[in-house]
Structure 1
């Protein structure tokens, strides 16, 4: 057999196999598109509202379970490190606890034969962390109560205006998807503006070339066109590509910020009206946001997009810099820079998010609202930490369960016999399940971001109310008033 023919057939076979696999995946997705939408959208909304109902009944239980579990895991890790370091034995634990489980423990819990000094240092660090965590938990008990009350008030505000829950998954979501599609269309046109140039390579006339693998299928076996063609990308196209990329980051950040502002503006009156929701909260908030606050949102989105752009550029340079793989000092400095940029990105994202909430509450500009929000959070630092930890933990658990539930529902439906044969045959539930979970994640993120924004709005309103009225919330809803009365007693 001709070696060149074998190689050529192998190349075509590889491409053909990949194309067949992709075609099968697309056919599965086409045949199961109803299931994908039903699970990705329908199941997501059902489970999300179910979680909203669970928050009404079991929010305190879930919060304390998260806190207690974190403490227990920290204690268990500390004990395990001491056991691996040879400081503690299973018999010592049995003697302290009053049990008799030492013989039942697996050998993995026995003392390690290597790195005992390192394990001992790790055990000391874990001990310090565990002690601080337990002390912080005891100190934060009253703050956790405030966090749970803010969560309850935020949930009640959303129950009074259920249309607010649907808003991020409608216009903002569709706008984001539509803009990304338009951006992809534009960026493809930008990078197709360059001149087409033929590659230069050496053609061996003694051997048959892979006819048709170049850009021209009619190219002769020894002609230079077998080398293929490239689109020349000049500096102007590169600059335009960077401009388009920054515009993408800015517009998406504006969309997210505007959504947060609208949600905060819709639920904030619930606090300041002592638990009474205004008429048409979503419409009023949209009107105020469009009329007065687009510039403030654009300013905050610009700051967010700048730090995001810098972060992406650093990642791009990291892949292009060969010195990072050879020089450990440069690599260490580069990692420190990346860490600082990442922390700065998280800080700016947090500050801008809180600034949007204050804009919705007070109606001031971006920088004035950012300073006011920062001042309120700094003066109520421990309460703010409790609200963020409790809220984020519960909502992250809820989001994870919704996404997993969507995937399980998709697989369960595709296990029916009608998807094994006939016009709706699905060779594997993998692709429909993954697509369904991606859709579920996007929608669940929007859904629970509304709850998070509502909690932040109630907390900042509480802090502002206390500051305006001598440390007591004079205008708070009854739930927060009841908590303050309990603390006074």
Structure 2
């Protein structure tokens, strides 16, 4: 611990620094060029984004939407003519309401005698001021005005049709046809029968608003509305609950360990007895078949299926009995190892108690992760929304929507007749988002690696000083945690960058593979062979990631102890673990179960509290309404699990560091530890070298 150290894996530290410089430059560029309103608001027929002043998108021609469901077409909802309004229009109570083009419409089919403010104040209606020709065009759904025959409701800033058509409005529209000299051959009489279309229209609009991307965009908006819930239930609550669980673990380690062993054996015995009971070997509560009461006795050659069921149950019961016996014998053989595990855990908690500031250390990476996560989300939203709004490609055919409803069909596309608009992400923007994603993976793993290195250094110091920190504590500025962090960040940040890069690469590959599988499913190419291959690849990648993470943790401990490079420390860590496999296995099983229970209880509690919080009227109605509490609750559970994991990592690293320090101590001193704390030495007893054992044997 006191040897002269040198900086390790410097090349990877330089690589990480260069990567993060580019990462933040990309974020700054995203802030300057992005517009998050794209994620919430739609575009109008001019290709302009709806704004806070006119936030609601309304599709003016229901017949154009209806034709989407009736025949083969080369356009979609983005091509249907829409306009931005303050609110969804309502049908007339005593007449007919109209929604007209913007008065300053770029296609020239507006009304110059009205400003946009006057147009909005007049419920978007200037039909009565139109010429006879424009009125007839409007009656043919070619604009500039469109009749409001169906009621609509604001659904995610878009107007969705519902209910029945207004009889009053339909009657008024019929009168308007007569007044303009229209006949069935000259005017669009389909508008008079839109009532039966309502279910189809509503379903089509809802499907458009429920696509995965549209849902994702709304969820992003939900985060801005419910940030208080995320802060309280995703950060503050997990911190408080983690402190409570660490306190319980500090004083009831032995009780929990033996209780887990007892419960596992008891459950195995109960399951075995239950299977024997259902097999009819014990009692008379065997499994019976679902047949009539006397059918089996009255049918010749009938075989009761209950006999097969009972036979299967017997085989299962015999297998369960064998597992129970093996488990019980294994428990008896491992009792000494369990005592070792409990001792290691107690020494670990003593190390935490000797430097109370170490309990608060996880707050540093938590706050760093929170700040970085806030930057990452904000920058990601702006980068994602920096795509250019472009007119998309569709086929304009005569007598087919959308060209069917164009006023001027002579030259298309033109200002009046064209395809719709959407935000387009070009290839460079897609690669930028992938780079941004990898930055999140690498940085979060780097924070975790530095946390592991610091904690390992603290607890290794405690072990190799015989169960104390000696004179290392000299004021809050120079606590063991501060000393360890300074030393690890100065000498071994490169090793942290190396280890975190390995995990980040595997995580990134897993995300890419999952995306490719999803795309194959969308394309209908997910046959049985592809599904099986994808499942195998994803499982292997997940398993490999877990192995790398496990190696990394133990490597960081050896780096903290000896100060060697990442690869050399990894080899030494694996050697120590395989040479002390039984002890390491017992300690890890007991410790991991206790810590997992803590993380699970903290995260689930946070999820329940978040759901109750969001169930309040403040988030169910009004300006702060969230479209769905599901994603926010899931994020609170994930954040709770991650934050609880950071706190539990203190205990976990204390356990692993104490164990590997003990193994290293034994290796350095011929099997007899020189620096073991009193409690650990008391439980493990006196250790003898091979020479001492042979001497005793020869003497006997």
- Normalising TM by the smaller chain, what interval? 0.7 to 0.9
More helix by share: 1
State the shift of 1:478 in Å.
1.1
2:569 paired with 1:362: no
2:440 paired with 1:245: no
2:446 paired with 1:254: yes
2:352 paired with 1:151: no
> Paired residues, what number?
458
**Residue in 1 that maps onto 2:517:** 318
**Residue in 2 that maps onto 1:377:** 577
Which 10-residue stretch deviates more, 112-121 or 128-137? 112-121
State the shift of 1:175 in Å.
2.5
Change (3 A) 1:205 1:167: farther
1:6-405 paired onto structure 2 within 5 Å: 6=198, 8=201, 29=226, 33=228, 41-84=235-278, 86=279, 88-91=280-283, 119=313, 122-170=316-364, 172-184=365-377, 185-186=379-380, 188-189=382-383, 192=386, 196-202=390-396, 205=399, 223-226=417-420, 228-229=421-422, 231=424, 233-234=426-427, 236-277=428-469, 278-279=472-473, 280-321=479-520, 325-328=526-529, 330-405=530-605
State the shift of 1:385 in Å.
0.9
1:91-143: CA deviations, max 9, x gaps? 2xxxxxxxxxx67x9989xx956556655554454444333322322221111
TM-score normalised by L of structure 2: 0.56
Larger CA Rg, structure 1 vs 2? 2
1:390-469 paired onto structure 2 within 5 Å: 390-406=590-606, 437-469=637-669
Provide structure 2 residue ranges, at least 5 long, that are not aligned to the other structure: 1-192, 290-304, 406-412, 474-478, 689-700
Distance 2:510 2:562 in 1: 32
Query: Residue 90 of structure 1: SS of its match in structure 2?
Result: coil
1:439-479: CA deviations, max 9, x gaps? 43332121111111111111111111111122122101111
State the shift of 1:340 in Å.
2.4
Provide structure 1 residue ranges, at least 5 long, that are not aligned to the other structure: 92-101, 212-218
Q: Check conservation: 1:271, 1:475, Cα contact below 8 A.
A: yes
State the shift of 1:437 in Å.
4.8
Q: Check conservation: 1:264, 1:454, Cα contact below 8 A.
A: yes
Q: Check conservation: 1:197, 1:232, Cα contact below 8 A.
A: no
1:407-450: CA deviations, max 9, x gaps? 6667899999x999xx9x99999778777655433321211111
Q: Check conservation: 1:199, 1:230, Cα contact below 8 A.
A: no
Q: Check conservation: 1:404, 1:437, Cα contact below 8 A.
A: yes
Q: CA RMSD, aligned part only?
A: 4.4
TM-score normalised by L of structure 1: 0.78
State the shift of 1:325 in Å.
3.6
State the shift of 1:262 in Å.
1.1
Higher relative contact order (CA 8 A, sep 6+): 1
Change (3 A) 1:438 1:118: same
State the shift of 1:275 in Å.
1.2
